A and B are shown apart, each in its own frame.
Chain A
């Protein structure tokens, strides 16, 4: 089976940097994905990592360590519109995605 853990809630200030952690235990690994979901809306794809290391996409970066079963999503220069839930998801041996419960990020002015 697969188990994914991420913090339930985080709060940060506009303009700051925030790191959202995700740890996982999985049978088979084909990649780790991060999605953003605003309340009542569909999840939207942010980034993925297949190999160890850092992937950067503008204000968003994602890091993966397969040996530690660990990933993080780094958001820089936070904006109010970044207030959302951030979902960590692992693609396992069957290439299905297993999602964590999500981290609700609140950005304060």
Chain B
């Protein structure tokens, strides 16, 4: 069983539509992240959450919103999708490392989004 799951895995939508991407984890990690990946640009952080109800903006949060209602779930919304939000979206989780100061992030399988 996958530790970090994302739904849907693929999504096609139209400009102006609202869509939600879901992330669930069974790793028991407090920290969760949403990234987008575009060819040649690497992974860029959209939002992150260190605990339930804790929300922090990342590098490219404009046009996105998130919700963290439970430890295991972190959802990403595009309120009004636009074509340049076409990308591969990854959710990730991490554990503060039990005081060791090293946090490894573990990624879900990704959601491929196409906005027409």
- A residues with a Cβ closer than 8 A to B are 8, 30-31, 33, 40-45, 48, 50, 87, 89, 91, 95-102
Contact = CB atoms under 8 A, between A and B. Distances in A.
13 contacts: A40-B110, A41-B110, A42-B110, A43-B90, A45-B105, A50-B102, A87-B42, A87-B43, A97-B105, A100-B42, A101-B40, A101-B41, A102-B42
Contacts of B45: 96-98
Nearest to A94: B56
Contacts of A89: 43
Interface residues of B, number: 22
Given A99-B43, A100-B42, A33 B101 contact: no
Contacts, number: 52
A101 B38 CA distance: 9
A97 B94 CA distance: 11
